[in-house]
Each structure stands twice: as structure tokens, then as C-alpha cells.
Amino acid sequence: MTQEITLPVAELKQALPGFSKLVSKSRTLPVLQSVLVQRDAQGIVTIEGTDLDAHVAYRLKDAQAGKPAEVLVPFDTLTKTAKGSSETLTLIPDGKDKIRLRYHIGNSPVEQRISCLETKEWPPTPKITAPLVALDPHFGATLKEALQCASDDSSRPVLHGACLDVTDPKAHYVVGTNGRVLFAANSFGFDLKQSVIIP
């Protein structure tokens, strides 16, 4: 069974812009300039990024055959390769600190060997043990609108996110503000004991 991991370019182009907001450009911890790509025993492929304060993960839509595998890929290299390639990009582990990227530019196959850090350098992903909270199907779009109204003023960190306000038991709110503009949407019912702010 193969250790190759295949990434659909269309999905990469959707996911990577979100990672670019988090993946560090810092030279002090080079591992934070990479993303972890892994396939588990069920064939689920995920891409993870972190800046140590926050973690983000994207799961590919389709499972793929193959034994469990994981590689660290420099984020800039993955982004540039995905922009110029068509259909799929294949990651092939090649020793402890090398991987091969196989992809197509137009109809021409290309294979590139790049250096990478060992996966043991990757910081552990925090495990969430709290019970899951089911959310309304419209919550994602509402949260996005609320976050667009959030502040980036360093003197007012409480306004740097959206508040899920559960003080009114009849109607829970999603609220975002920068102190001048206010976004509020109600008619939600969150299974929360207290209000929370999502950064």
C-alpha cells in the first residue's frame, strides 16, 4: 500500500487562502511555516496549520486508499505549486526530511523534490473533549457577517470577535461590533450555559 497522499487542486485553492491568515512567516520557529498533511487509517486526509495560539484543519471531501501517512509541507511551496498545477498534486515521502511533489502543468507531468522538516517537530494538536454543540444551518454565514463588523483596535480586545449572547433565554444573539457599527442577529438557540466570544 502506498504512502502517497493525493490532494485535489480545486480543494487546495479553496482551503489555502484561509490557512494564509494563520500560517506564520516567523523565522524563529520554522515548523510554523509548514502545514501538516496526514491520512489516517480510514483514509481521511486532513491539512493542519497553526501559529501555536490557534489551529486550523481542513478535511478533504473524499477518503483515499492507502496506509496512514503524514508529511510536513512548506506552506509557500504548496501554495505556489497549487496555483500553477492542474487536477491533483501528489505528496510522496522521500526519507525523513524530503518529499516529492508530483503534479501537472497543462498536460506536462512535473516532479519536484523539496526539503521539509520531520513531523516530530509539529506541535501537538489540542484535543477537544467538551461535548459538541449543534448549531443552526445558517450560523456559519451569520458568524461571518458578525466577524466582518469586529474591531482590530488593539486597545479593545473584547471587540476582536463575535459574541454568542445567551442572556435572553427566548432568543440568543450573534453580535459583532467595532464600536461604531453593530451587527446583531437573533432567533438562535445555542446549547450554552453562558455567552462566549469567538475570536
Categorise residue 101: left if φ over 0, alpha if ψ from -120 to 50, beta otherwise: beta
CA dihedral 128, 131, 136, 141 (to 10 degrees): -10
Residue 35's closest CA among 61, 56, 17? 56
Q: Above 70 in pLDDT, residue 1? A: no
pTM value > 0.85: no
CB 104 within 8 A of CB 81: no
Q: Looking at residues 30-34, what average pLDDT do you find?
A: 91
User: What's the average model confidence in pLDDT over 33-52?
Assistant: 93
Please give the Cα distance from 37 to 16 (Å, whole number).
12
With contact defined as beta carbons under 8 Å apart, do 64 and 95 qualify? no
- Tens digits of per-residue pLDDT, 59-111? 999 989 888 999 999 999 999 999 888 889 999 988 878 999 998 888 888 89
pLDDT mean across residues, the chain:
89
Residue 43 binned pLDDT confidence (cut-offs 50, 70, 90): very high
Question: What is the percent of the chain with per-residue pLDDT over 70, rounded to a whole number?
Answer: 98
Burial of 19 (0-12, 13-18, 19+ CB in 10 A): buried
2 pLDDT tier (thresholds 50, 70, 90): low
- Which residue(s) pair with 47 in the sheet? 37, 58
Instruction: Tell me the pLDDT tens digit for each residue of 127-155.
Output: 888 887 778 889 999 999 999 999 888 88
Which residues lie across from 36 on neighbouring strands?
48, 72
Q: Is the pLDDT of residue 53 over 60?
A: yes
